[in-house]
Amino acid sequence: MRKSFIIVAAMMLSSCVVSKKKFDDILAQKIKTEGDLVDKNKELGKANTLVSELSESVKQLQQDTTDLSMTFRASQKKLNNLNQEYNQLNVSYKNLLTNSGKLNRDISQQRDQLLAIQDHLDQTRKQNDSLSSSLQEREKKVKELEQVLANKDKAVQNLKNKISNALLNFKESDLTVKVKNGKVYVSLSEQLLFESGSVAVDKKGQGALQQLAKALKDQKDIQMLIEGHTDNVPISKKSTYMEDNWDLSVLRATSISKILIAAGISPQQITAAGKGEFSPVNANDTPQNKQKNRRTEIIVTPNLDELFKILDVN
């Protein structure tokens, strides 16, 4: 505006020397120039706006370029990795092709081995089934055997109690009753049964044997072994039928057997035996030990036929 004012002032100062026509031309030119200036200013504003937009676009393009560059580098790295994997797979593939013949042979061998194992497995399964059946049968037999043994033990204990009750009036020093190895052992001392060196049972001994027979005579499912025992002192009086302690022990066992039979025990249930001095309960080194060795043992055994039948089956 200042410039326009200077121009107008100059024109006014020179109006005295410039013609009106020329003034009008200059004024028209001024107006036109001012119009052009306004237009140029508008265009300049648009140009500045466009420059700003272009600047932002340039910045965005630069950012996009940076992002694309990073993406490209990542893609390139991935591509390189994929190329490396491809090369490795290609090598492996070629190796597989090379080894395919050997692999086929190995597969064939493994198939044959698998079939052999399957056959063996089938055979083993059959054997196991057979063993299982056999085991069940054996378990059944074992239960039967256990029941028989339990019954036998109960019968032996009942037998022991019956004998002990029958002989309650005798001293423990004269006789003892105990269970050993599934049998009842009645051990009678020499002083209860015999005089020294004699085979005749005295009255007190006969009473004990008769009481024992009374308790057992109805017990038909037992066996009785009568064993005579002596110490190691040689007999003083020898005879045709008794030359040593062995003969003495046998004759004493026979005498006791006859008393038991006379009192009601079946002869089929009795066995007489003598062991002389050869089965002592103590060393024959003192008079007391020798006295304990001079004894008769009546061994009572329950009938074990049922047990033997089970054992024979097994």
Mean of the per-residue pLDDT values of the chain: 86
pLDDT at 8 over 80: no
pLDDT of residue 289: 96
- Whole-angstrom Cα distance, residue 48 to residue 43? 8
Q: Which of 20-24, 251-255, 257-261 has the lowest average pLDDT?
A: 20-24
- Write the pLDDT tens digit of every residue in 208-253: 999 999 999 999 989 999 999 999 999 988 888 899 999 999 999 9
pLDDT of residue 68: 80
Residue 93 lies in a domain: no
pTM to 2 decimal places: 0.56
Q: Are 284 and 293 in contact (CB under 8 A)?
A: yes
Please report, for the domain that includes residue 228, its CATH number: 3.30.1330.60
pLDDT at 22 over 80: yes
Q: Which long-range contacts (CB under 8 A, 24 or more apart) does 69-72 make?
A: none
Q: How confident is the model at residue 137 (pLDDT cuts 50, 70, 90)?
A: confident
pLDDT of residue 231: 96
Q: How confident is the model at residue 16 (pLDDT cuts 50, 70, 90)?
A: very low
Residue 145 lies in a domain: no
Q: How confident is the model at residue 72 (pLDDT cuts 50, 70, 90)?
A: confident
- Whole-angstrom Cα distance, residue 150 to residue 56? 109
Better-predicted residue by pLDDT, 311 or 138: 138
pLDDT at 257 over 70: yes
User: Identity (one letter) of the amino acid at 76?
Assistant: Q
Residue 19 lies in a domain: no
Q: Ranked by mean pLDDT, which of 75-89, 156-170, 296-310 comes out on top?
A: 156-170
Residue 74 lies in a domain: no
Q: Are 293 and 229 in contact (CB under 8 A)?
A: yes
- Whole-angstrom Cα distance, residue 255 to residue 12? 190
Residue 130 lies in a domain: no
Q: How confident is the model at residue 124 (pLDDT cuts 50, 70, 90)?
A: confident
Residue 255 lies in a domain: yes
Interval 106-120 mean pLDDT: 86
Residue 198 lies in a domain: yes
Residue-range definition of the domain harbouring residue 243: 167-313
Give the chain's domain count. 1
pLDDT of residue 262: 97
Q: What are phi and psi of 96, to 5 degrees?
A: -60, -45
Q: Are 275 and 210 in contact (CB under 8 A)?
A: no
Residue 195 lies in a domain: yes
